Amino acid sequence: MTLGLLAGHSLSAQPPVTMPDAQVPPPGPALDLINKNCSGCHTTATIFSQRKSADDWAATVQLMVDRGAELKPDEQDAVIGYLTKNFSDSPAAATAPAATPAP
Ligand code: HEC
């Protein structure tokens, strides 16, 4: 039964839809925040073309908030974590959860 289904699927040869390199950011609440609050002064392409460390993203988002991006502190954290995860300059950090700096 299962074998028959699998065989049928493998014969239908559908092209894979996975992206080789994450050009399209994964959906989520943080992406909604970015689309809403970070696209007023420049397009989100300005953001998604960057690759930064957690510290650099934190500094960048803080700078944008200082400039006028309307993010509450918890939203800021969500955006920093999202950008660090998906647009990191280090492959190791890309799979790790948002780094919390040691006290
Ligand atoms: C009030 C206007 C404004 C808002 C809102 C804004 N930005 Fe910016 N952003 C700018 C300006 C002006 C520049 C270009 C000057 C520069 O490069 O520092 C810029 C440049 C950038 C860059 C490219 C330069 C760099 O430092 O890497 C990134 C990334 C960026 N913004 C991220 C964000 C994010 C993330 C948000 C939402 C939290 C955001 N911006 C919201 C004004 C804004």
Is 15 a domain residue? no
Residue 42 within a domain: yes
Determine the distance separating the centroid of ligand 1 and the alpha carbon of 46, expressed in angstroms: 7
Q: What is the pLDDT of residue 25?
A: 87
Q: What is the CATH number of the domain that holds 91?
A: 1.10.760.10
- Pocket (CB within 6 angstroms of ligand 1): 34, 37-38, 40-42, 46-47, 50, 60-61, 64, 67-69, 71, 79
On whether residue 83 sits in a domain, the answer given is yes
Cα gap 46→28, rounded to integer Å: 19
Residue 52 located in a structural domain: yes
The predicted pLDDT at position 14 comes to: 61
Neighbouring residues of 69: CB distance < 8 A, sequence distance ≥ 6: 37, 38, 40, 61
Q: What is the mean pLDDT of each run of 10 residues along the chain (103 residues)?
A: 51 55 79 97 96 97 97 98 94 55 62
| pLDDT number for residue 52 | 97
The domain in which residue 86 lies consists of: 24-95
- Contact of 85 with 98, CB cutoff 8 Å: yes
Name the domain count of the chain. 1
Q: From the CA of 34, give the closest atom in ligand 1.
A: 37
Ligand 1 atom showing the smallest separation from residue 60 Cα: 26
pLDDT for 90: 81
Q: Does residue 1 belong to any structural domain of this protein?
A: no
Residue 2 included in any domain: no
Identify whether 72 is part of a domain: yes
* Residue 54, in any domain of the structure: yes
Instruction: Pick the residue whose CA is nearest to atom 14 on ligand 1.
Output: 42
Rounded Cα distance between 18 and 66, Å, is 37
Answer whether 0.95 is exceeded by the pTM.
no
Give 64-80 pLDDT, tens digit per residue.
999 999 999 999 999 99
